[in-house]
Amino acid sequence: MKPWIERQRHLIDFTAQSLARRKGKSLGLLFVYTLLVFVLASVALYTHALRNEATRVLAGAPEIVLQRLIAGRHDLVPPGYIERIGRIRGVQKIEGRLWGYYYDSVLKANYTFMVPADREIVPGEIVVGPALERTRGLSAGNGISFRAYSGELHTFIVAAVLAHESELVSADLVLMNEADFRRFFAYPDGHYTDIALWVANPLEVRNVGVKLLGTLPDSRPILREEVLRTYASIFDWREGMMLALLSAAILAFGIFAWEKAAGLSAEEKREIGILKAIGWETGDVIAMKFWEGFLVSLFAFLVGYVAAYVHVFHFEFTLFAPVLKGWAVLYPSFALTPQIDGLQVATLFVFTVLPYTAATLVPIWRAATTDPDTVMRS
Amino acid sequence: MPLERPSDRVLAATLLAGVLFAATFADAARQRSAREAALQRTTELVTGLRLSDVVLFTEARYTRHLSQADLHSAFQDHPMALEHFPSGSLLPPPRLLLDHHETLDRKAASPD
Q: Is B20 on the interface with A (CB under 8 A)?
A: yes
- Co-location of A221 and A301 in the same domain: no
Residue that is last in its domain, among A197, A232, A267:
A232
Q: Tell me, what CATH number does A180's domain have?
A: 2.40.40.20
* Interface confidence (ipTM) of the complex: 0.83
- Are A242 and A358 contained in the same domain? yes
| A232, A263, A281 - which closes a domain | A232
User: A242-297, pLDDT tens digit by residue?
Assistant: 666 677 777 887 787 777 666 677 777 788 888 888 888 888 888 888 898 899 99
**Average pLDDT in chain B:** 80
Is B40 part of the contact surface with chain A (CB cutoff 8 Å)?
A: no
Residues A220 and A108 in one domain: yes
Q: Looking at the partner chain, which of A12, A53, A167 has a beta carbon nearest the beta carbon of B10?
A: A12
**Is B68 at the interface with chain A, CB within 8 A?**
yes
The percentage of chain A sitting over the pLDDT mark of 90, rounded to a whole number, equals 38
Average of pLDDT values for B69-80? 70
Q: Is B42 part of the contact surface with chain A (CB cutoff 8 Å)?
A: yes
A259 and A345 in a single domain? The answer is yes
CB-CB under 8 Å, A167 with B24: no
Closest Cα in chain B to A13: B7
Residues A163 and A67 in one domain: yes
CB contact under 8 A, A303 and B17: yes
- Do A144 and A99 share a domain, yes or no? yes
pLDDT of residue A22: 83
Give me the pLDDT at residue A244, please.
65
Q: Is the pLDDT of residue A239 over 70?
A: no
Domain boundaries, chain B: 8-51, 52-100
Show residues of chain A in contact with B23, CB under 8 Å: 306
| Shared-domain flag, residues A76 and A224 | yes
Closest-CA distance, B111 to chain A, in angstroms, reads: 29
> What's the average model confidence in pLDDT over A325-346?
84
Q: A167 and B38: CB-CB below 8 Å?
A: no
Asked if residue A146 and residue A33 are part of one domain, the reply reads: no
pLDDT over threshold 90, residue A331: no
Q: pLDDT band for position B19 (50/70/90)?
A: very high
> Residue B57 pLDDT more than 60?
yes
The full 3-state SS of chain A, as one line of letters, equals CHHHHHHHHHHHHHHHHHHHHCHHHHHHHHHHHHHHHHHHHHHHHHHHHHHHHHHHHHHHCCCEEEEEEECCEEECECCCHHHHHHCCCCEEEEEEECEEEEEECCCCEEEEEECCCCCCCCCCEEEECHHHHHHHCCCCCCEEEEECCCCCEEEEEEEEECCHHHHHHHCCEEEECHHHHHHHHCCCCCCECEEEEEECCHHHHHHHHHHHHHHCCCEEEEEHHHHHHHHHCCCHHHHHHHHHHHHHHHHHHHHHHHHHHCCCCHHHHHHHHHHHHCCCCHHHHHHHHHHHHHHHHHHHHHHHHHHHHHHHHHCCCCCCHHHHHCCCCCCCCCCCCCCCCHHHHHHHHHHHHHHHHHHHHHHHHHHHHCCHHHHHHC
**Residue A80 sits in the same domain as residue A135:** yes
Regarding whether A138 and A22 lie in a shared domain, the answer is no
Q: Tell me the mean pLDDT in the region B55-80.
A: 78
Domain stop point among A232, A248, A277: A232
Q: How far is A173 from chain B (nearest CA, A)?
A: 9
Number of domains in chain A: 2
| Residue of chain B whose alpha carbon sits nearest to that of A297 | B14
Q: Which domain holds residue A248?
A: 2-58+236-377
The answer to whether residue A181 scores a pLDDT higher than 90 is: yes
- Of the pLDDT bands very low, low, confident and very high (cuts 50, 70, 90), residue B105 is very low
As a whole-number percent, the residues of chain A with pLDDT over 70 amount to 95
pLDDT of residue B104: 45
B110: contact with A, CB 8 A cutoff: no
> Are A106 and A162 in the same domain?
yes
Which residues from chain B sit within 8 angstroms of residue A72, using beta carbons? 70, 72
Instruction: Give the residue on B whose Cα is nearest the Cα of A236.
Output: B92
Quick check: B51 and A61 CB within 8 A? yes
Average pLDDT over residues A300-319: 94
